[in-house]
Structure 1
Amino acid sequence: MNLHTKYIVLFLALAAVVTACNQKSEQELKNTTRVIKGLYSYGPEIKSFTDCEEGREYWVADSAKTLELAYSNFNFEKPYEPVYIEVECHLIKSDSLIVSADFDSTMVVTKLLKITKEIPDGPCN
């Protein structure tokens, strides 16, 4: 084989490995994405979520860029007023160098499904 052909074969092999790795990462992400329901509070220093069913508290990262905006549209007089939300998200370990270190996990919101001031009866109350 000439040098040109070797580079093409090497490039194709590398591309196949990268593609296989990316497919696995996307599949793992899909497996960990879930719908979660609970109370969300937002303010200048804290973005927190409490899972109604488990009672666990999470730091919130809004990758969808819609949760904080929807919360702000309620025009609360004071920060940190809880609202009920339903979101698609996945959980990651919290960064130990920022405020989120006070929380075991960070909830990364990928899609806002519902947000309301009305907190339903049940474990959230």
Structure 2
Amino acid sequence: MNIFKSPLFLIIAIFIAIVGCNSRPEEVKDRTTRVMKGLYSFGPELKSFTDCEEGNEYWVADSAKTLELAYSNFNFEKPYEPVYIEVECHTIKSDSLSMSADFDSTMVVTKVVKITKEIPDGPCN
């Protein structure tokens, strides 16, 4: 019996081809850590970052659990006041089912390098 004529072999081969070719772009993650500089705003419904150099906007996920705390320590009277930050991070595709869906990418912060109320002159101003 020739194995290539077996219907079971054909079904398995088709299944493997479908699974192998069915890549999911939303699961592809860019795990390259880099330092990004820009403006961060935080409030009850929004955690956003605007990259000063490229102007891209990101939803922010604080995996270090220090960015939101440092922002809160400024004791702003109103939410969403921008601050200048420099952070180590990587980006991932935003979840299409959450608040981050309005942003193309989510910036995952792994370390806060600098956070200040003073926004430097240049592209951030």
Q: TM-score, normalised by structure 1?
A: 0.76
Displacement of 1:75 after TM fit? 0.1
2:55 is aligned to 55
The two structures, once aligned, show a CA RMSD in angstroms of: 0.8
Deviations 1:65-90, CA, capped at 9 Å, x for gaps? 00000000000000000000000000
Say if 2:79 is the partner of 1:79: yes
The one-letter code matched in structure 1 to 2:81 is E
Displacement of 1:119 after TM fit? 0.1
The one-letter code matched in structure 2 to 1:84 is Y
Give the whole-Å Cα distance in 1 for the aligned partners of 2:77 and 2:65: 22
2:108 is aligned to 108
Equivalent positions of 1:16-31 (< 5 A) are: 29=31
The number of residues matched between the two structures is 96
Give the whole-Å Cα distance in 2 for the aligned partners of 1:112 and 1:79: 20
Displacement of 1:99 after TM fit? 0.6
The one-letter code matched in structure 2 to 1:114 is K
Say if 2:93 is the partner of 1:93: yes
1:36 is aligned to 36
Greater helix content: 1
Deviations 1:43-74, CA, capped at 9 Å, x for gaps? 00000000000000000000000000000000
Question: Post-superposition, which runs of at least 4 consecutive aligned residues in structure 1 deviate over 2 A?
Answer: none
Greater strand content: 2
Percent identity of the aligned residues? 89
The one-letter code matched in structure 2 to 1:100 is S
Give the whole-Å Cα distance in 2 for the aligned partners of 1:60 and 1:85: 12
